[in-house]
Amino acid sequence: MSESSDDEAYGELFDSGLGEDAFDIADFSHTEHLGGGYFLLRDEALERLEKLVGRTSSVLNPNGSPPQECVDQTNNRALSVRLNPHKSYVWPSAKLMSELLLLFPELVRGANVIELGCGLGLPSLAAARAGARKVVATDFDAAYLRGLDKVVEINHENIFGANPSSSSLRSARSEDTAEYATPMGGARELSPDDGYEENSAAASVSAVVETYLLDWFQSCDEKVVSFLESQELDVCLCADVNYNPTEDTITALTNAVLNAKCDILILISREKRLGLEEFIARIKTHYRRTVLDREPICCERRGIGTCEDERHSLFIFRGRTTLSIDNGL
């Protein structure tokens, strides 16, 4: 599938609007199964990831050959999400990002996470499932966020467990602002069956997921900057967000990333995106370390990134060098 056809397929899903009639529970007939880590990475990349998250032993399949298929043999962090196939398009990069977070939950465990351009927000849901303290799922269109709200409502137990704590629900909406920001999370107790030690500091994690209307072109506005600062964010997730090659869009996206002030940025992008090179070049000037640089990532079992036009790459940056930016980079 070409880049243009992929984008057009996504756009067509929302041309008819996302009114209440688009969210009939009976229409959520497709289940997206995530977890198990069925993607391919080179051995060197796996070693860097495990070093980054501080693992002393691997749960990965030790019998693979480069590129190695990452398999969580415990299968403890599986996530199944029911979707409306007529109003849902899950980007391949979002699936790969979700698998990554479920296989390496240490990347987000106990962290405050933001996803830019979330769409259906699968990576956000995977981050919550992996034990993030808080996840802020952002997009420029309130209709997409309403769709995400419905996805969470229908899949709440799968994501957060059967007995979420209502006390963990928080809203990002302020009475004097027009932002669409609705709490849609819960809390779940993480047990040793989830891969956590009983006496670990992460044994109990409250996962709060919020949606926030964020237009990248307004990410330097005082109100938006203030909101982002108030979230005390640690990790920024970007799944194929660098699709527009125009100078002003790349600048706006970079501003959004930098004003989130996250120590870690995780990007999975389809190769040949026209805006990729310039975006990466700018990001590298603002992060001290590039942990993974254009690392090929694919999933043969699910047919993601297995042909030339669908190649994806993983980037991980760490250590913000500046605390804030102005409109002009």
pLDDT at 203: 33
- d(CA 250, CA 241) in angstroms, rounded, equals 10
pLDDT at 243: 85
Boundaries of every domain in the chain: 90-320
Res. 17: pLDDT tops 80:
no
d(CA 319, CA 329) in angstroms, rounded, equals 18
pLDDT above 50: residue 202: no
Report DSSP state, residue 28.
Answer: -
**Cα separation, 13 vs 8, whole angstroms:** 9
- Give the mean pLDDT of 151-161: 86
pLDDT exceeds cutoff 70 at 187: no
The predicted pLDDT at position 221 comes to 96
The architecture in CATH of the region 90-320 reads: 3-Layer(aba) Sandwich (3.40)
* Strand-pair category, 264-270 with 312-320: antiparallel
Flag whether pLDDT at 69 surpasses 80. no
Q: State what percent of residues in the chain have pLDDT above 90.
A: 42
326 Cβ neighbours under 8 A, 6+ residues apart = 220
Half-sphere exposure in the Cβ direction for 81 (13 Å, CA) = 30
Q: What is the pLDDT of residue 235?
A: 98
More confident residue, 58 or 33: 33
Distance CA 233, CA 310 (A): 31
Confidence of residue 108 (pLDDT cuts 50, 70, 90): very high
CA dist., res. 44 & res. 117, Å (int): 30
Q: Which residue has the higher pLDDT, 204 or 92?
A: 92
Helix, strand, coil percentages for the chain (3-state, nearest 5) = 35, 25, 40
Helices 247-259, 222-230: inter-axial angle, 10-degree rounding: 40
> Which tokens is 262 given?
């996250």
Pairing of strands 30-34, 79-83: antiparallel
